[in-house]
């Protein structure tokens, strides 16, 4: 979440005339995140989030807003999109596709405990199970073709060591057949700052704009790579085992998911590293943003490579 496209109070007030949300009281830009323009929007009826999409097309947005609407009605605490007077969840503002969603109460837990990780695993499994009933699909735009193509795009900007690591990892990933893994709707970005914990300690999920159809174990790996790692890139085994245990309360892992667990952890680290390299070398013009640490993602990938045997044994 950032501010790439400025929105004035007058523009927000005009937009609200098309929604059953009352009148504008305040509008505040959000600096966190790196993909879209976001504002906290307070009206006479409550608190909301206004998002302008900098990369996603208007044609793709119904998948994401429909998914949030589906999950919000299936016992998943997440933002619920608001319908405009024309019945649609999406609109246009300043030449960008946009939507308004409810704002969740709470704050991230940036120093998660073992108990926090177990609860994160449980809520991720509930999302995966609830996603089975969602009748729309979206191929992962950051799949193999993107990983290999984006690494090539980055090549002139990187050191020989970075390029060698990317090439070797993309080759490693290409020889593993993920089609044997269970596939479904994934969140795709369930990092610590994308879960808000309310005053009662209940987790709510935000930022669904990396959601797509992919291997469910890949989504679990993305989550573990953020919630269960130390600053040196090493996995905190106790946190990881508890997150996975929480996940398996609702959805036990299949044997092939356990067998390919190290591959999924490496793939998740690779995708995150590529994305953060992109934000660093091809930054968008932003009025407010907080950059991500791409060096950490590299350390994480290197740790997974050097500790493959331990990772394989961890879920055996």
User: In sequence order, which residues have a C-beta less than 8 Å from that of residue 113 and are 6 or more positions away?
Assistant: none
pLDDT in tens, 75-122: 999 999 999 999 999 999 999 999 999 999 999 999 999 999 999 999
User: Which residue ranges does the chain devote to CATH 3.30.200.20?
Assistant: 9-102
pLDDT in tens, 157-183: 999 999 999 999 999 999 998 899 999
Mean of all residue pLDDT scores within the chain: 94
pLDDT at 308 (0 to 100): 85
**Distance from chain centroid for Cα 246:** 19
pLDDT at 289 (0 to 100): 47
Tell me: pLDDT of 291 over 80.
Answer: no
Tell me: pLDDT of 151 over 90.
Answer: yes
CATH architecture label of 114-314: Alpha-Beta Complex (3.90)
Q: What percent of the chain has pLDDT over 70?
A: 95
314 — pLDDT class (breaks 50, 70, 90): confident
pLDDT in tens, 205-224: 999 999 999 999 999 999 99
Looking at residue 180, what DSSP letter applies? G
What's the pTM? 0.94
* Phi, psi values for residue 216, rounded to 5°: -65, -35
pLDDT at 21 (0 to 100): 98
CATH superfamily of the domain spanning 9-102 = Phosphorylase Kinase; domain 1 (3.30.200.20)
Q: Which helix (H) or strand (E) holds 10?
A: helix 9-16
pLDDT at 204 (0 to 100): 98
pLDDT at 75 (0 to 100): 93
**Beta bridge partner(s), residue 46:** 43
User: Which residue ranges does the chain devote to CATH 3.90.1200.10?
Assistant: 114-314
Question: Within 10 Å of residue 236's Cβ, how many Cβ atoms?
Answer: 17
Kindly state the average pLDDT of the residues 234-241: 95
User: In sequence order, which residues have a C-beta less than 8 Å from that of residue 37 and are 6 or more positions away?
Assistant: 2, 3, 4, 5, 7, 51, 52, 53, 54, 96
Q: What percent of the chain has pLDDT over 90?
A: 86
Tell me: pLDDT of 288 over 50.
Answer: no
């Amino acid at each position: 979440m950032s501010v790439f496209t400025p929105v004035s109070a007058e523009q927000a007030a005009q937009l609200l005339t098309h929604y059953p949300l009352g009148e504008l009281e305040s509008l505040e830009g959000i600096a966190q995140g790196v993909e879209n323009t976001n504002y906290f929007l307070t009206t006479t009826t409550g608190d909301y989030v206004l998002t302008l999409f900098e990369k996603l097309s208007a044609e793709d947005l119904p998948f994401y807003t429909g998914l949030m609407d589906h999950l919000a009605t299936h016992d998943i605490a997440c933002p619920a999109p608001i319908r405009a007077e024309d019945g649609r969840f999406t609109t246009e503002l300043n030449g960008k596709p946009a939507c308004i969603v409810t704002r969740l109460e709470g704050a991230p837990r940036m120093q998660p405990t073992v108990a926090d990780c177990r609860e994160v695993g449980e809520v991720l499994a509930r999302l995966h199970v609830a996603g089975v009933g969602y009748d729309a699909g979206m191929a992962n735009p950051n799949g193999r073709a993107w990983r290999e193509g984006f690494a090539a795009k980055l090549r002139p900007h990187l050191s020989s060591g970075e390029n060698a690591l990317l090439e070797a990892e993309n080759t490693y990933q290409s020889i593993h057949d993920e089609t044997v893994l269970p596939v479904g709707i994934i969140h795709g970005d369930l990092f610590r700052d994308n879960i808000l914990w309310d005053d009662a300690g209940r987790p709510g999920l935000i930022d669904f704009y990396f959601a797509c159809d992919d291997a469910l174990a890949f989504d679990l790996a993305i989550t573990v790579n953020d919630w269960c790692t130390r600053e040196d890139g090493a996995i905190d085994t106790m946190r990881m085992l508890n997150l996975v245990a929480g996940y398996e309360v609702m959805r036990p892992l299949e044997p092939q998911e356990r067998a390919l667990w190290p591959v999924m952890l490496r793939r998740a680290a690779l995708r995150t590293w590529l994305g953060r390299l992109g934000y660093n070398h091809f930054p968008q013009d932003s009025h407010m943003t907080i950059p991500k640490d791409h060096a950490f993602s590299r350390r994480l990938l290197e740790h997974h490579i050097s500790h493959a045997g331990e990772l394989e044994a961890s879920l055996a």
